[in-house]
Amino acid sequence: HGWSEALAGIKSPHVKYICPHAPVMPVSLNMNMAMPSWFDIIGLSPDSREDEAGIKKAAENVKALIDQEVKNGIPSNRIILGGFSQGGALSLYTALTTHQKLAGVVALSCWLPLQASFPQGPISGVNKEIAVLQCHGDCDPLVPLTFGSLTVEKLKSMINPANITFRTYAGMMHSSCVEEMMDIKQFIDKHLPPV
């Protein structure tokens, strides 16, 4: 709900926002206590084992949301995926694996999951020219800025580097700020102009 409120502050009248809730599940990193999570998080280092089945299942759920919007009459190339932290990771992974051509991805304080599952070099899918806005705070204690930097380098090898914008925010932790919200608004307005 916090993100839907934040997005309401930057919403253009011709844009529809859908903010799905992650299901509640036990998370390994959280001592197996249940919390909202798109997939299990086993560790917070670049070489930690990843929940491949959970990530792929979550991506299928996002693809089903895209399919539903297409059935409702919104062309997929007028859809931007976005998310914060795990939601941003899921948005990036989904955009790079879906067969639906998308308008863009807003990836906030996140990383690209299952990096090793992508072939070296450019992807061949419909989203090899996708626009990406990747944002990260330089004081993030949970998902360190290095994760964001490693992710943007990997993305530049996979999709057109000219379409990737990487913004960092001084002093920002694992959160958001007004400047970041304005950058998101500018990105959405640019890639989803009124029809």
Positions marked active-site: 85, 140, 174
The answer to whether the beta carbons of residues 90 and 55 sit under 8 Å apart is yes
Q: Whole-angstrom Cα distance, residue 85 to residue 145?
A: 12
The answer to whether the beta carbons of residues 88 and 59 sit under 8 Å apart is no
